Structure 1
Amino acid sequence: MTQDRLPRVLIVGAGAMGIVVGHFLSQAEVQVSFLVRPHRAEALNRPQVLYCYNDNQLKTFKEYTYLTEPAEIINANFDYILITLDAVALMNEVGQNLAKTIGQAVRQTSAKVLLGTVFYDLKPWFLQTSGLSTEQVTNALLFVHAYAKKAVALPVHPPTDQNLLDKADFAYIDSLGPGFVVDDSSPTVAKSFTELYNGCGVSTCAIMPAAQLAVSTLPIFAVFAACQLLDWPKFQDIGSKGETWSLAVAAVKEIQGLRICGELGQQAAEATSEAGLAASLTGMEKVMLPLDLQEFYRYHHGGKVNDQDRELLRACLTNGEAEGNPMSALRELVQRVEQH
C-alpha cells in the first residue's frame, strides 16, 4: 500500500456479513470492492440500505465497486481480501478454484487475506489450496449479527422501528463487544487490519489468540444442533430441556477439549456446566435485544448455513477421535441431528 492512495479492500461475497463490514470500512476511508457472482450484480447497482438495531436508524452504503469475474482480481493490487463465504461454498470445486485465483493474485505481493469463513482449522486447508504463506493469511470472525431483510421476517421487539426496518436491504446489531475479531496466527495481518477497521469509528476490531478464537466459536455449534432438535427454544428456557440439553453440554465440553482449543479450552471444559452455559446464553439473548436472537439463529443456523454447521461438527468429531478422545456425546448429537 502506497502513501498516495487509499487502502483497497476486496470482500468476497456481498451477503449480510460482506455488506456490513464493507459499510464499516467505507467509513474508515477505505476503497471497498466486492467480488460477486453475476446474478448478484444487479442488486449492487444501487445503494444498499442497512437498518441498525443499535440506534434504530437507516444507513446508506454506496461507496463501493464490484467485480463479477475472479480473474479480475489478478493484478488489481488489493491490499486486503476478506472472504465471507460459508465453508461449504468455499470448499466446493468453485470455491477451491477461487482460492487458487486468490493465491495467484496475492502471491509475491504485500496483500493480506482474512478468512471470515467459520470452520474447523480452515487456515491450513486454505494455505495448501491457495499456495500462500501463513504470514499472509489470518482467521477472522464477524461478531456483528446481520441478515438480509428479504430472506426472513424476524419478530419485532421494541424499540425497533418497523417502518424503517421494512425499507432496509440488510439489518444488523453490534452489541457483543468487538464487532469483528481477527486471530493472531499472522500478527502482521492482524495488527494492520485491526488498525484499518478501527478507523471507522462505528465498530471495533480486536485481536484474539488463535486458540481463544477456536474456543469462542467451535463449541457453540453443538448448542445450535441441540436448538434444532428442540425447535429453537428461547435460551432462557433451554436449561430445562432435559436430556437433549445435557447431551449438548457434554458435546460442548468435548469440543472445548480439542487440541485446537489449547489449554484455554481445557480450562473452559472444566468450568462449563449445564446451568452456567444456559445462563450465559440467556444473558447474550438479552444483550442482543431488540434482535430476536433465537429466531435469527433459526434462520441462519437452522437453514442458511446448516450444511456448513453439520460439516463443522463432523470435523470436530473426526479430529477428536483422531486425538484419542471418545467424543461419545458429540457422536450421539451428530447422529440425532442427521436423523432429524
Structure 2
Amino acid sequence: MSTKPRILLVGAGAIGQVFGGFLQSAGCELAFRVKPKHAEEARRGFTLYELGVFEKDPEPRELSGFAVLCSDEEVAAERWDQIWLCVSSTALRAGNWVEELARATGAATWVMLQPGLEDREWLLQRIAPERLLTGMVPFLSFHAPLSPQEPVPRPGTAFWFPPLSRGLFSGPEERLQEVLRALRAGGYPARRSPEVARAMAIPTALLATFVDGLEAAGWSFERLLEPEPLEQALQAAWEAVRIAAWRTQQRAPPVRPLLRPWLLELMVPLASWAAPFSLESYLRVHFTKVADQTRWMIREYVALGLQAGLPTAALRAAAQRAEDRHERHPGTPSSL
C-alpha cells in the first residue's frame, strides 16, 4: 500500500492547478474532482508557469499523472487523506455536493481556501472541527497569456507570489503539520497561523470593496481614481473593515487615515509596476470569473453590518450597483 498522501482537489481552475503542482512535487498522489463537462480538458493535463518579479520567459512545467473524478461514487471508491476545496464561496453553497462529498470521504482532512466571513462556520455545520483546516491564497494565478504582449510558449496557468508573501494555514495541530510538511516538501511557502480566518478578515474586506469599485469603474485604475468612484470605494471599504472586525471580535484597526486618495494614487501604480503582467488585466479577467462571489461578499457585509448595528449605506449602494451591472452584463459563474 502506498504511504504517499492521497489528495483530492475539488476544482481544477487556476488555484487548484497551482496547489496541485506543489503537492505533486512533494510526491503526493493527486486527483481532481470536476464536473463531467470539464473532465476531458483536465485529463489532458495542465501547463504551469511560475513568474518572478522580472521573469520574462518562464519555463513551462507539466502537471499530469493525476486522476480525474466526476462522481461521488468514484470518490467513495478510494481512500483520501486530504480534501482541498479550490472553488469560490458561492460554488461551495451550490447544491448539496459538500454534504455528499463529506459522506464519501471518510475521516479525511479538509482544507478550505474560501475568503468569506461566514465560510468556515458554514463548513463547520458539515465537517467536524477536528478535520477542518483553513488556508488562504497568497498568489495570483490566471490563464496565460493574458494578452498578446505577455506571450508564453503555449497556453497554460501562470502564477506569481508577490514579494514576502506566505501561505498561511491554521487548524488542529496534527493534521495541520501533515499539510504543512507536504506543501513545504513541494517548495510552497507554507506557514502556520493561529487563526487564518481572523487574520485575513480585514485584508479580504479591503480587497473585496476595492475589486467591486474597480469593476464599477469598468476595470480601469484611471477611472477608479477619479473623485466620485474613489470616494464610493473608500467609504464601502471603511464600512466593510468595521464589520469584519466586529464579526471576528477584533478591534477595528485605524485604517481610515490610510484610506486616502493620494495613497491609492501612489499604491496602484507601484503595484502595477511590481507585477510581471498587466495587473489591471488580471483583476478584470479573474474577478469577472468570480463576480458572483464578490457580489455575495458585499451582500454578506451588509447583512452582518445590519445585524451589528454598524453603518452600511455605502455597502448597500455598492451592492445595488453590482446587481444592476450583473443584470445588464451577466458574468461567468464559478464552477466546480
Task: Work out whether the TM-score is over 0.5.
Answer: yes
Which residue number in structure 2 is paired with residue 12 of structure 1? Answer: 10
The question of whether the paired residues in 2 share the 8 Å contact of 1:26 and 1:32 is answered with yes
- 2:103 alignment counterpart: 104
CA change 1:315–1:186 in 2 (3 A) is farther
Structure 1 unaligned residues grouped into runs of 5+ = none
In the other structure, the counterpart of 2:119 is 122
- How many correspondences in the alignment? 316
Q: Distance in 2 between matches of 1:268 and 1:211?
A: 17
Work out whether residues 317 and 331 of structure 1, in 8 Å CA contact, stay in contact via their aligned partners in 2: yes
Distance 1:323 1:114, change over 3 A: same
Task: Tell me the SS of whatever aligns to 1:219.
Answer: helix
Cα distance, 1:296 vs. partner? 0.9
The answer to whether the 8 A contact 1:51-1:168 is kept is no
Q: 1:225 aligns with which of 189, 212, 229?
A: 212
Does structure 1 conserve the Cα–Cα contact (< 8 Å) formed by 2:295 and 2:319?
yes
In the superposition, relative to structure 1, how do residues 38 and 27 fare at CA in structure 2: closer, same or farther (>3 Å)?
Answer: same
**How far off its partner does 1:73 sit?**
2.1
Q: From the superposition, tell whether residues 43 and 217 of structure 1 become closer, same or farther in structure 2 (CA, over 3 Å).
A: same
In the TM superposition, residue 251 of structure 1 has moved relative to its aligned partner by 1.2
SS in 2 for 1:248: helix
Matched residue, 2:40: 42
Change over 3 Å in CA distance of 1:75–1:176 after alignment to 2 = farther
Cα 1:42–1:100 shift into 2, 3 Å: same
Deviation at 1:239, TM superposition (A): 7.0
Out of 51, 65, 68, the position equivalent to 2:67 is 65
Distance, in Å, in 1 between the alignment partners of 2:72 and 2:316 is: 38
> How is 1:202-221 mapped onto 2 (pairs within 5 angstroms)?
203-208=188-193, 209=195, 210-221=197-208
Give the counterpart letter for 1:121 in structure 2.
E
CA contact 1:38–1:68 (8 Å) conserved in 2: yes
Percent identity between the two aligned chains: 21
Q: Which amino acid aligns with 1:212?
A: A
Higher mean C-alpha displacement, 13-22 vs 170-179:
170-179
Q: How does 1:1-340 map to 2 (within 5 A)?
A: 5-54=3-52, 55=55, 56-74=58-76, 76-93=78-95, 96=96, 98-107=97-106, 109=107, 111-128=108-125, 130=126, 132-149=127-144, 154-155=146-147, 160=150, 162=151, 165-178=152-165, 180-182=167-169, 184-201=170-187, 203-208=188-193, 209=195, 210-234=197-221, 237=222, 240-258=225-243, 259-263=246-250, 266-274=252-260, 275-288=262-275, 290-301=276-287, 303-340=288-325
CA distance in 2, matches of 1:187, 1:156: 46
Please tell me whether the aligned partners of residues 213 and 224 of structure 2 are also in contact (alpha carbons under 8 angstroms). Answer: no
SS at match of 1:89: helix
The one-letter amino acid paired with 1:135 is E
CA deviation vs aligned residue, 1:175-212 (integer Å, no higher than 9, x gap): 25336332x354444333122211112x3122343311
Q: What letter is aligned with 1:168?
A: P
Determine the C-alpha separation between the residues in 2 that align with 1:61 and 1:179: 23
Gaps of 5+ in 2: 326-336
Q: Deviations over 1:215-259 (max 9, x none)?
A: 22232111111111111223xx46741021112112111111122
Deviates more, 1:42-51 or 1:310-319: 42-51
Q: Deviations over 1:68-126 (max 9, x none)?
A: 11232225221110011122222121xx2x2112221345x2x2111123323201112
Whichever residue aligns with residue 324 of structure 1, its letter is: G
TM-score normalised according to structure 2 size: 0.85
Q: Distance in 1 between matches of 2:49 and 2:297?
A: 31
- Kept in 2: contact 1:6–1:30 (CA 8 A): yes
